[in-house]
Structure 1
Amino acid sequence: MRTAYTALAFLPLALSAACGGAAEDAEAAPPPALSLDQAKGVFETYESADRKADTALDAAQLPAIATGSQLEMDTATYRMYKANGKKPDAQSFGEPVFYVPRIASGPRWFVVDTASRVRGVEVRHALLFVEEGGRWKLAADPQRRNATPIKGVELDGEGYAQVAQDGLQVSPAELPKAHADLLTQGPQAPGSEHLAAGQQTTQTYDVLQKVSKSLRKSGMTFTAAFTPAEQPAYALRTQDGGAVAWYALKQQETYKGKKIPVSSDLAGLLPGGRVARGNLTSTSLVQYLAAVPREGQVAVVGVNRKTVAAQSG
């Protein structure tokens, strides 16, 4: 797993209820995506392949183990490390907890809640794996710092989870658009009322407005727009009738000015030095973990961000 480049800061995970779950009728329930032992094997295989790819910084190995936003983010991260002449810090995961949902139809997926420690900082990962073309691949890695494991996921008597699709004030499928509209248009955007104020919602919007105002004083213009990424949202039911959800957004930033500073996050994505002239456009992907209550506002509790493309002229 590559070291993440996150937006702003992490929020502590706030999902209610203790771990455990109510038993279901195993005969009536749909089958799990895979067995718990198989999920453990998938995770161990991923760790080994990921470590090998990291050591070589070989992006050609990534499509076999990652997909969607994660593949784009990991590929861009490798390019950045190569451009800076560095390699990612060694990383290993500890005490994984597996959440495998029973799935009646559609793509198979599961979650691994685990932790890593890099340079003395503990980071919790909510790893989302999906099956694609007969292979299990990492699709998202929203993270939290110094956080406790995910709590309250509803488990049946055999230890399997349940997909959350309905019965919520806002469905997981509606979350990406609501979040994107809030970050682009502000807290008055339709659907924004479903999202609680916080660092990854209203505070991010406020920061972007301040950046735009500050750059105008320097003779530059700046705009930022968010849209849902081209991947579905996934959610697990919690014991209190809520859910914990995974989804991703695409962030497009545009700068115009005579001299535009180029951040280190764009290393490997743009030719030349640390200054662009005329205009600069960058595309970032942002993965989120959210606590969705049965009633009330959604709390965004985990995040992972990486700029994946840029161009200037």
Structure 2
Amino acid sequence: PQPGRARWFLATITYTGATARTHLIFEETTAGWRVVAASRTDGQVPQPHLDAQGQATALDAGTRTGLIADPLQVAHAHGWSVASAHRAKQARTLLAPGEHTTQAARAVLADRAVLRGQWWFRHAARVLPPIYALRTADGGALAWYGLHDRQRFLPATASPAPIRFAKTELTRRPYYTRRVSIDRAGWFLAAIPPAGSQAKADIIGAWSLTTAVDGA
């Protein structure tokens, strides 16, 4: 247990014949053990360091010792990546290219290209505490953190082209012509290299979804 924090542990779920792994963080609450974070990854995941008793070593969000960056720095860098379509220096300096950084940015920019000249875009993201982190066998760390981001679209012309959504479960109407906001939230898993490594932090897992669409 970490001083001042509830007890928590990591559970890994794998299925025969499948390469994907699901990670669940359980935390002790007054109502018992509850799942408080989750991620899914198809790639390799660094193994947590285990002590003589087989216990993993939990790290504080601000732990920088032995790491290229602390878990909170990585989480904030990912927020900058999301908000800037991976253009922010804070993101490019610290985060490796991949599905949740450069590829996600390309998808966002492709969507915006269709609407350019018709709509203004604003994108903001923030880290959702707490952060759960474990030391890995190679001296690095695994960090689970939450992100919430909101895209806002405001008209750039008097009569912009309508914004339509292929999936309408969360929308109140088939299209929007005056304003739109899209909220997403999720958990992400970052692999943070040990100090001295030339590698960057890699976002290797996620569990996220669109939570709200609003507009007029």
- Structure 1-normalised TM-score? 0.58
Alpha-carbon deviation of 1:178?
1.2
Shift of 1:228: 1.4
Question: Residue 160 of structure 1: CA displacement?
Answer: 0.9
In 2, the alpha carbon distance for the partners of 1:170 and 1:306 equals: 27
Contact 1:215 1:222 in 2 (8 A): no
Which structure carries more strand by proportion?
A: 2
108, 111, 129: which one aligns with 2:26: 129
Question: C-alpha displacement at 1:261, in angstroms?
Answer: 0.6
Correspondent of 2:79 among 141, 165, 180: 180
- Map 1:256-275 → 2, pairs under 5 A: 256=154, 257-264=160-167, 266-267=168-169, 269-272=170-173, 274-275=174-175
Written as runs of structure 1 = structure 2, the 5 A alignment for 1:66-77 is none
Task: Please give the per-residue CA displacement for 1:129-167, whole angstroms capped at 9, x wherever unaligned.
Answer: 22233422212221123x45x442111122111012321
Structure 1 ranges of 4+ moved more than 6 A: none
Task: Give the alignment partner of residue 35 of structure 2, picking from 135, 138, 163.
Answer: 138
Residue 112 (1) aligns with residue 36 (2) = no
Pick one of 172, 182, 194 that aligns with 1:294.
194
Q: TM-score with structure 2 length normalisation?
A: 0.82
Task: Please give the alpha-carbon distance, in whole angstroms, between the structure 2 residues aligned to 1:121 and 1:261.
Answer: 36
1:157 is paired with a residue whose SS is: coil
TM-superposed CA distance for 1:288, in Å, is 0.8
**Once the 2 structures are TM-superposed, how far is the Cα of residue 191 of structure 1 from its aligned partner?**
5.4
Question: Counterparts of 1:72-221 in structure 2 under 5 Å?
Answer: 102-116=1-15, 123-145=20-42, 147=43, 150-165=45-60, 166=63, 167=65, 168-185=67-84, 186-190=86-90, 192-216=92-116, 219-221=118-120
Q: Indicate the residue corresponding to 1:87 in structure 2.
A: none
Residue 122 of structure 1: how far off its partner (Å):
5.7
> Which residue does 1:59 correspond to in 2?
none
Higher helix share: 1
- Displacement of 1:209 in angstroms is 2.4
CA RMSD of aligned residues (A): 2.4
- Equivalent residue, structure 2, for 1:254: 152
Range that drifts further, 205-214 or 167-176:
205-214
Q: What SS does the corresponding residue of 1:141 show, helix, strand or coil? A: strand
Offset of residue 262 of structure 1:
2.3
1:116 to partner: Cα distance: 5.0
SS state of the match for residue 212, structure 1? helix
> Matched residue pairs, number?
203
What residue is the counterpart of 2:130 in the other structure?
A: 232
Q: Residue type matched to 1:124 in 2?
A: R
Q: Secondary structure at the match of 2:5?
A: coil
- Please name the residue that 2:210 is paired with: 307
Q: What does 1:43-82 correspond to in 2, within 5 Å?
A: none
In 2, Cα distance between the equivalents of 1:174 and 1:299?
A: 13
Equivalents in 2 of 1:210, 1:110: separation in Å? 39
Structure 2: stretches of 5+ with no match in the other structure: 155-159
Letter in 1 for 2:206: V
Distance (whole Å) between structure 2 residues aligned to residue 263 and residue 232 of structure 1: 34
Native 8 Å contact 2:80 2:88 kept in 1: no
> 3-state SS of the aligned residue for 2:90?
coil
